[in-house]
Every structure is written in C-alpha cells, then in structure tokens.
Amino acid sequence: MKNICIYQDFLTQAHKAQIRETAEPLGFTPHFFTPDQFQEAQACLQNCEILYAHDTNLLRSAPASLQWYCCSYAGVDPYCKDPALFANPHCLLTNSNCYGVTIAEHVIMVLLMLLRRMPEYEALVQNRGWGDQLPIRSIRDNQFTVLGAGDIGVHVASRLRGMGAARITALSRSGVSRETVFDEVLQISRLDEVLPRTENLVMALPGTAETYHILNRARIALLPQGAYVVNVGRGTAIEQEPLAEALNTGALGGAALDVTDPEPLPQDHPLWTAKNLILTPHISGNMTLGYTCDANVEMFCRDLQNYAAGRPLNGLVDRARGY
C-alpha cells in the first residue's frame, strides 16, 4: 500500500470515510492528522507519496519522494514563490476550486451593500436615527468588470446575470473562456481600456508577480467617479494607499476588501478609517461553510482517482506561472 498524509482541521467522520472508500480500492492508505498533531504528521509524511494539507512548514519537511501536494486552498502563491519548499522539484501541486459558491455569495453581499449604501444606513441606525434619502444603485441594468475568469469569476458572473446585470466583462491572462456567462472575455492587457467604463470592479486574481499592484494609483484614477471596487483575490493586487485616498476624497463610491496586504492589517493602517470601505478579515472563502468542505473533499477524491489512473489532475497548478 502507498500512503497519503492528510493534515486538515475541517474533516468530519463522513469526509474521512469518503476518502478511505476512495483511496483503499486504489491501493492507498490515508493517515489523518489535525493541527495539534504536527509532529506525528511530519513523521508519517516521510513514507507518503501524497500530502493533502495547507501548511508550508509541513510541506518543507516532506521527502523528495513526495509526488503530489494537494493544497486545500485556492491561493497557492506561497508554494509557487518559494520553490525550495519542495524537496522534489517535480512534485505535482494542485489547488482547490471549491470556493466559487461561498466567495460569490460574499461578492454579491458586499456589492449590494455598496450599491445600496448599507454602511451609511448602518451608521445611521447605530445612532437610533431614521431616514431614507440616499440615492442607491441596483445590480439590475448595471455594468460589472470581473478580473479573473476562473472558478470565482464564473460563479460571481452567473449570480450577477441572474439578477439582471446589464453587461459583464471578464479579463484574464488568456482572454478566452469556455464559460458563456460573460458578455465578453478580454486579455488583461486591455485593462486600461476597460477601467474607464467600469462601474463595478470585482477582483478575483491569483497572487503572482504579474498581478502585484495591478490596480495601482494610475489605474485607480482611470475608474469613473463613484465606481465600486471589490477584492476577494489577493491584497497585493491593489496599491492600498491611493485606494484609501480615492475613497476618502469620494473619487470612488466605495470598496469592499476581503484581502489586504499584509493580513491582519497593522493597527495604524489608513484602510481602517477609509470612507465607505467594507473590510472583512479574509473570510469570503474560509472553511466554515459545510458546502465548501464537502466540495473540497470531493475534489481531492476525484483527483486521487485521476492520479491513480495516470490522468491529468483537475486542479493542477503551473508552479512557474503561479496558478
């Protein structure tokens, strides 16, 4: 039997049974560890061909015989930036595309909160005030630009579509998508041309050298007056100081950031007090939703079958490209 080291905190008994029932007929024995068993996991890992986890320290102690690191997160930038984490330079790396549903629900929530000026109404009601005169906007008949046409971008777009969005433009490195939910898919190199007509910008990009500060000061200035910005990808994608300035001057209508650089934000960071900013502590895609956990295990099991059969892995990441 070959061995799989599984180091996760979210697995239920049912998830473990599902993994065992998938692995054993394929000749694999899964070994389960929780975060309080780091040393036990480390010891076991020495005889494992596969690791299913999201922990750079554990990966660092994996043997050169590790063939596949299945990361249960979507963002794998820490693993791609530091090739020294892998003793085996050819180790396969997969990420998990199970976060589309929960992150898309987060995006719809914060977009509606921005469009409907909920932070202002919340502040009013917190002081036991009443009133109804703030002009609002709607998803219906509105325009959206989505940076990143992957799992998250597609789930966001399908929900915007269902709510009557007028036009959804996606931008990605390739500029093509098999998905029909976007009105158009353009290459990210055309970003400067698209920003001036972007009323609502949703950013769901991986953290790579190419996406670092992709929304910089000059591009923030290209957005139309009153535009909204939502980021659920990586905090490094936005130059944060000009964003805070544009919020405070009213050049932007508002923003919702679930990711920042760094995380947590330092206590004296200007984003804490920026106007019309909905800040959340990187929770849009966490593992506190049962559906996400189920889908995560489902994807590992499916790729385990692919791995055993010698087929390409669905979640395969290009370690050089970074996603």
Residue 230, strand partner residues: 202, 256
The structure tokens listed for 5 are: 């080291």
Q: Specify the residue, 130 or 249, whose C-beta has the smaller distance to a copy of itself.
A: 130
Mask for 257-276, x = binds a copy of itself (CB under 8 A) = ------xxx-x----x----
- Of 148, 187, 137, 142, nearest to 160 by C-alpha is 142
Q: Binder to a copy of itself among 55, 105, 210, 245 (CB under 8 A)?
A: 105
Q: Binder to a copy of itself among 159, 234, 244, 317 (CB under 8 A)?
A: 159
Q: Is 179 in the site for a copy of itself (CB under 8 A)?
A: no
The structure tokens listed for 147 are: 């940076």
Region of residue 175 (phi > 0: left; psi between -120 and 50: alpha; otherwise: beta): left
Helices (H), the chain: 13-23, 38-45, 56-60, 77-81, 100-115, 118-126, 151-162, 191-194, 217-222, 240-249, 290-309
Catalytic amino acids? 234, 282
Q: Specify the residue, 63 or 164, whose C-beta has the smaller distance to a copy of itself.
A: 164
Q: Binder to a copy of itself among 109, 301, 313, 316 (CB under 8 A)?
A: 109
- CA–CA distance, 124 with 277 (Å, rounded to integer): 16
Q: Specify the residue, 279 or 308, whose C-beta has the smaller distance to a copy of itself.
A: 279
The structure tokens listed for 198 are: 């972007």
Q: Is 281 in the site for a copy of itself (CB under 8 A)?
A: yes
Mask for 85-104, x = binds a copy of itself (CB under 8 A) = ----------------xx--
Phi, psi angle pair for 12, to nearest 5°? -90, 170
CA 319 remoteness from chain centre:
17
Q: Which stretch binds a copy of itself (CB under 8 A): 83-91, 210-218, 243-251, 286-294?
A: 286-294
Q: Do residues 250 and 227 lie in contact, with contact meaning Cβ atoms separated by under 8 Å?
A: no
Q: Do residues 165 and 183 lie in contact, with contact meaning Cβ atoms separated by under 8 Å?
A: no
Residues 6+ apart with CB under 8 A from 43: none
Q: Specify the residue, 54 or 319, whose C-beta has the smaller distance to a copy of itself.
A: 54
Q: Specify the residue, 25 or 266, whose C-beta has the smaller distance to a copy of itself.
A: 266
Residues 6+ apart with CB under 8 A from 100: 151, 152, 154, 155
- Of 198, 199, 195, 189, nearest to 217 by C-alpha is 195
In single-letter form, the type of residue at position 56 comes to T
Q: Binder to a copy of itself among 164, 196, 226, 250 (CB under 8 A)?
A: 164
Residues 110-149 that bind a copy of itself (CB under 8 A): 112-113, 115-116, 118, 121-122, 124-125, 128-141
Q: Specify the residue, 222 or 289, whose C-beta has the smaller distance to a copy of itself.
A: 289
Q: Which stretch binds a copy of itself (CB under 8 A): 13-21, 26-34, 285-293, 297-305?
A: 285-293
Q: Binder to a copy of itself among 108, 152, 227, 274 (CB under 8 A)?
A: 108
Q: Binder to a copy of itself among 209, 291, 311, 314 (CB under 8 A)?
A: 291
Q: Is 166 in the site for a copy of itself (CB under 8 A)?
A: no
- CA–CA distance, 184 with 171 (Å, rounded to integer): 8
Write out the residues near a copy of itself by the rule CB under 8 A. 101-102, 105-106, 108-109, 112-113, 115-116, 118, 121-122, 124-125, 128-141, 158-159, 161-164, 263-265, 267, 272, 279-283, 286, 288-289, 291
